[in-house]
Amino acid sequence: MHRFLLGLMLMTTPPTTQPLPPFDLEHVKRADAAIEDAIARRKTPGAVLLVGRGEEIVYFKAYGNRAVEPQIEPMTTDTVFDLASMTKPIATATSVMILAERGKLDLHAPVARYIPEFTQNGKDAVTVEQLLLHRGGLIADNPLKDYEAGPDEALRKIWALKPKHPPGTKFEYTDVGPIVLGELVRRVSGKRLDEFARDEIFVPLGMSQTSFAPLDDARLTRCAPTEKRDGRFMLGEVHDPRAYALGGVAGHAGLFGTAQDVSRWCRMMIHGGKLDGRRILRADTIAQMTTMRCLPNGTGSRGYGLDIDTSFSSCRGQRFARGTTFGHTGYTGTMFWIDPVNRCYFILLTNRVHPDGKGDVKELRKHVATIVGEALLGPAE
C-alpha cells in the first residue's frame, strides 16, 4: 500500500511553476548527429523527431529515407508510420479509461464479467486492471497457428488459454492481454476498437492522420513501408502478424499515424485529458491512468497501458525523471516519452524494420532521449 500511495503522489504532482531553462536548440542538434549516424550504420532507413514543450513544438525534423526499397523515398515530417505497440496506450488503454470513466466497466472487475468465455482454464479472477498492467498471468504471445482460421477462431483460442502465472503475481509484457482489452472495448461499447477510438479519441483531438488500416490513398502515399510479407513490402498494412490475422484491428497493434498526431495525444495527457477545448478524459482519470503502480516483488512500475519504470524503460534516457515520467515503444521502431510535471515530451518514429527486419534503434532511443531531456530541462545536476 505504501508503494501505491507513493506512486499516486508522484504521478499526480502538478506541473511545475518554476521557470524552466530556455530550450537549448544547439544542444538538441546533437540528436541530429546521433540519428544520422544510426542511418549511416543501417540501424534504420530514416526517422522523424518531434519535441514539444507546453503548447509549442520546439523541434521537428525528418531524417534519411522512409523507403530504400524498391526505390528511395525521402523521409518527411508528415510520414505515416505503423505505430505498433504504441497502439496499446493511445487507442486501447485510452478507450478503456473512457468506458471506465463513464461507468460502463469496472477496472477492478473480472474480465469474465464482460467476456464470459474468458473464464476458461482458471482465468475467472483476472481483472481488467491486471491486463492494463500486464499482470494478468497471460503468456506473451500465443502461437501464430492459433490465428490461421480467422479472427473469430483466434479469439476462441485466446479465451481457452491457460494462464502462465497466477493473476497479479508477476509482470510479463504481453500482446495477448491488450488483444483481450480490444475485444472488451467492443463488447462494452458496441463498437469495434478502431471505430470507438476514432469517434472518442482521434476525431475530438484532431488526429486526422491516425487510424487503423486501411489507409486512404493520400496517407498511403506518405506511409513508411516495413518488411516484406508474401513477397511484397507491407505498406499501410500492419506489420504485426497477429494483428494482421485479426483483420488489422487489435488492441496490441495496428494503429498508424504521424508524429504531429501523436503529439496531440501527448499534449492531451499533459493537459489532464483536454486539448483545444475538447475533453477526452477527466483530470482525475488521467491521474489514475498515469499513477505509478509498483510491480510484484518491487520489479518496477507501470501505469494503465503505460511504461514508467521497467526493463522496457531504457528509452527514457538519463535525463527524464524516473517515476514521474512515462511513455511507450513500438516494435517497428517507434516511441514517445512524456514529462507531465515539466509539461514536455518527445516522439521518435522510425521504421527500423525496413527493408529486412535487421534494424535496431534501442541505443539510439536512449541517446536521443538523453539529448532531448538535457535540451529541455538543462544538464543533470
Q: Which fold has domain 2-377?
A: Beta-lactamase (3.40.710)
In this prediction, residue 43 carries a pLDDT of 98
In this prediction, residue 47 carries a pLDDT of 98
In this prediction, residue 16 carries a pLDDT of 58
Q: Beta-carbon neighbour count of residue 285 at 10 Å?
A: 18
In this prediction, residue 11 carries a pLDDT of 45
Tell me the pLDDT tens digit for each residue of 72-87: 999 999 999 999 999 9
Which residue, 270, 297, 264, 266, is CA-closest to 283? 270
In this prediction, residue 21 carries a pLDDT of 86
Q: Is the pLDDT confidence value at 325 over 50?
A: yes
Q: Give the torsion sign (CA, 321, 325, 331, 332).
A: negative
Which residue, 64, 75, 78, 68, is CA-closest to 34? 64
Q: How far apart are CA 346 and CA 175, in angstroms?
A: 24
pLDDT band at 7 (very low <50, low <70, confident <90, very high): very low
Tell me the pLDDT tens digit for each residue of 42-80: 999 999 999 999 999 999 999 999 999 999 999 999 999
Average pLDDT, the chain: 94
Which residue, 343, 361, 319, 371, is CA-closest to 33? 371
* Extents of the domains making up the chain: 2-377
